Amino acid sequence: MAIGILLMLVLGVVGLVGAAGLVLLVVGIIKRCTPMWIGGLIGIVLAGVAVLAGVAVGLYYAGHARSAAARHVAQRGPGAGGDYVRSGDGQATARIEGIEFTVIAPGSGRTGSSTRSRSTVFPGASETRHEVTLGNVVIVVEGRDGRLTLSVNTADCGPVNRGDSVLINEAREVFINGQRRLP
C-alpha cells in the first residue's frame, strides 16, 4: 500500500512539472519571452523523460515478476509442495490448496485443472476457485476468507482444511480423512 501512495505522489509531481512547463511555454510564446518558453520546454521534456523512465522500470519489473512466477511453476509438482494433477495406473491424484485427492477408477475423460482468484485491498475479501477434472469426476475447492469448501460432481461436501486427505472411490463415495462425507 505504501508503494501505491509513493507511486501516486511521483505521478502527481511529474504531472505538475509537465503542466507547469506547458503553462510557461504558452505564456512565454504569447509574451515573447524567450527564457520563459525555454523553461517551459525544459519542464515538458523533463516530465516526458520521467514518464518514459517510469514505463521502462515498470516493464522491467513486470518481466522480472513474470519470470519468477514461471520458475516457481516449473519447480512445482508431486512431492514439491505445490499443486499438481496426475493420472495413471487406474487412479488419479491431485493436490489442491494443500489437500491431497485420490480418485479410484476415474473413468474416461480428460484430466485438467483451472484456477480463478479475486483479491481486493480489503483484508479477508479474497476468493479462489480451483476446478480439477479427473476423468468423470469434477472436484471444486473454493476458498473464501481463509476457509475452504469442497464439492465433488456438484455435490457439496462441506468444509475441508489444508493437510486433509480425500478419497473418491469407484462408487463416487467421498471420504475425508477416512470419514465418509457423501453416499
Confidence band, pLDDT 50/70/90 cuts, at residue 70? very low
Closest among 143, 181, 178, 144 to 164, alpha carbons compared? 178
Question: Is the predicted pLDDT of residue 42 greater than 70, yes or no?
Answer: yes
pLDDT for the residue numbered 71: 45
CB 128 within 8 A of CB 115: yes
CA distance linking residue 21 with residue 25, whole number of Å: 6
Phi and psi (nearest 5°) for 66?
-65, -40
Residue 123 in this model has a pLDDT that exceeds 70 = no
pLDDT confidence bin for 17, thresholds 50/70/90: confident
Is pLDDT above 70 for 73? no
Average model confidence (pLDDT) for the chain? 80
Taking each continuous run of H as one helix and of E as one strand, the counts in the chain are 2, 11
Q: pLDDT per residue over 75-111, tens digit each?
A: 444 444 577 888 877 888 889 888 999 999 887 777 7
